[in-house]
Amino acid sequence: MVNSTPDNSSLELARRLHASAALCRVVSAQPLNTSMHEIVLSGDAPLAGVPGNDVMIRVKDATGRFVRRRYSVRAHDPETNRVTLWIVTAHDGPGSAWARSCQAGDEVDVVGPRGKIPLAADADWHVFIGDASGLGAFYRMAQSIEVPGRAIFIVELDNAEDALTAPFDEGLGVTGIFVDRNDRARNDPSGLLSGLAAFALPPDDGHAYLFGEFSVSKVLRDALLDRGLRDEQISRKAFWRAGRTNAEHGEPDKGDD
């Protein structure tokens, strides 16, 4: 366990958000592929929340100023209170720089859990659509689906060979569609739209989760409405926005949402 005290700003933020704050220790840090690092943290506070929740990491930007970046929890070990994060590192930014450089034994301020999009417990099937930044949340949420159920993944990757998979309970129906970006602009929705068009949504009641780039998730929401889903069957969370740096608190600019 970590006995050190997090920064006062983290403690105050946690109080305002009705969350917890902890100075966590990096247990391990390793690249999973050319664009993703896995970071395992250990702390003494309940940070992981439910599948779909995220944590806020306090890191320094290029000027030495502290900012926060939000990352979905990929996995949580309740016995050791270890939290696993999958962080996309194929871009320049304070969070990706921290993930690439951190080492076992490092300490970092963490606030959590955060987030308002849990798994829709009453859905018969779940479709998870987005880019690699959503994979950690997608897999943790899907691993909590009760059998029999169904999980569909439509994920765009910069490199097709970077597709990461996960184990699921026997009896869970799983479909994975990985779309190669093929050098398209990061706010071009055509790749994910083609992946969605190639799949017939199951009958019964389902739920869609759109995690990833801001404008792409907006277009995908409209496409799902056109496919017959109701607004309450769609959960959308923008993790980042092409061409713009996330704000100090880790959220993308949503001025014209």
Q: Where in the chain is the domain with CATH 3.40.50.80?
A: 125-240
The pLDDT of residue 51 = 98
- What is the DSSP annotation of 216-227? HHHHHHHHHHHT
The whole-angstrom separation of Cα 154 and Cα 191 is: 10
Averaged pLDDT in 10-residue chunks for the chain of 257 residues? 77 97 97 96 94 98 95 96 96 94 97 96 96 97 96 95 93 96 95 96 95 97 97 96 87 72
- Distance (Å) of CA 149 to CA 25, 50, 53, 146, 197: 36, 19, 21, 6, 22
Whole-number pLDDT of residue 16: 97
On whether the 125-240 domain is CATH 3.30.390.30, my answer is no
* H or E element that contains 197: helix 190-197
Extract the tokens encoding 222.
């409209």
Quote the pLDDT of residue 255: 64
pLDDT at 248: 85
Question: How many other CB atoms sit within 10 Å of the CB of residue 38?
Answer: 19
Question: Given this model, what pLDDT does residue 3 score?
Answer: 46
- What per-residue confidence (pLDDT) applies to 257? 57
Select from 142, 153, 85 the least CA-distant residue to 113: 85
CATH 2.40.30.10 residue ranges in the chain?
Answer: 8-114
Distance (Å, whole) CA 7 – CA 108: 10
Please determine, looking at this structure, whether the domain spanning 8-114 carries the CATH number 2.40.30.10: yes
Compute the Cα dihedral for 180, 86, 102, 32 and give only its sign.
negative
Cβ-in-10-Å burial (0-12, 13-18, 19+) of 40 comes to: buried
As a dihedral over the C-alpha atoms of residue 233, residue 234, residue 235, residue 236, rounded to 10 degrees, the angle is -170
Q: What is the DSSP letter of 111?
A: E
C-alpha–C-alpha distance, residues 88 and 94, integer Å: 12
- Three-state DSSP class for residue 139: helix
